[in-house]
Amino acid sequence: MNVGGIQASILRVVNRLAEIGTRPEDPSDERLRAGALILAAVLITLVSFVWVGTYAARGYVVSAAIPAVYQVLTVVGLIVLARTKHFDLFRTMQLVLFLLLPALLQASLGGFVASSGIVLWSIMTPLAALALLGSRASVPWLVGFLVVVLVLGLADAHLARESAGLPSGLVATFFVLNIFGVMLGSFVLLGYFVHQRDLAHARSNGSASDPSCSCSTCCRHR
């Protein structure tokens, strides 16, 4: 498997998606961040059809409505983003949705086991915040995630008393889907980090090899 080719393909998709929420004059770093988040949001929106269809077919209307709300808000958010280019608003909305909706869905289904650990998707919140906001600004989102998991852990015994009666095979399948989806989303976000590291390394090498360039700033503007 050509990992470099896969990474290059993902970056091309990210750059295309970045056009939705950025202007041509925006820095490439900003465009990359926007594209990475939009790609993650689009992928989760598509995966959500599985949850909506499955829970609705089995009569769990509230549980089906939660991922449906995410789909609607994300589509509306993308439309607003395309028109206004206010990426900060879209970013904050996605981080809040990543954090709260999986927790609400898990509570509606009856805890960790009955929901196939759907709160795993909330891991996207601190990871996305780290990629988009930096280490210091991402700390509150990490704390928020830990608090959500702690609350769900304390309430799990109570929630399990009224758990959804989903077949064990379906529960196991959703466990696999959740792990697969979170890994894919994390791969996209970590791909952003790798790309930024490679760019910094290339700039560093360029500066070191050119004695006429005394600083990274002048190298960027040569």
Angle, to 10 degrees, between the axis of helix 124-133 and the axis of helix 168-209?
Answer: 20
CA-nearest of 125, 114, 130 to 182 is 125
CA 74, CA 38: separation in Å to the nearest integer? 9
CA 107, CA 118: separation in Å to the nearest integer? 10
What percentage of the chain has pLDDT greater than the value 90?
A: 58
Whole-model pTM: value is 0.82
Q: Does the CA dihedral 127-12-77-177 come out positive or negative? A: negative
Q: How many other CB atoms are there within 10 angstroms of residue 109's CB atom?
A: 27
CA-nearest of 188, 166, 184 to 176 is 184
pLDDT number for residue 200: 66
pLDDT number for residue 214: 47
Residues 73-103 have pLDDT tens digits of: 999 999 999 999 999 999 999 999 999 999 9
Residue matched to tokens 């952003």: 192
What's the CA angle centered on 126, arms 124 and 131, to 5 degrees?
90
Integer CA distances (angstroms), 97 to 26, 93, 135, 201, in order: 26, 6, 20, 34
Contact 188, 17 (CB under 8 A): no
Among the ranges given (15-19, 93-97, 145-149), the one the predictor scored with the smallest mean pLDDT: 15-19
CA 219, CA 222: separation in Å to the nearest integer? 5
Residues 166-187 have pLDDT tens digits of: 999 999 999 999 999 898 888 8
Residues 64-75 have pLDDT tens digits of: 999 999 999 999
The overall longest dimension of the chain from CA atoms, in Å, is 71
Section 11-28 average pLDDT: 77
Q: Where are the alpha helices (DSSP H) in the chain?
A: 3-21, 28-57, 61-84, 87-109, 124-133, 135-160, 168-209, 216-220
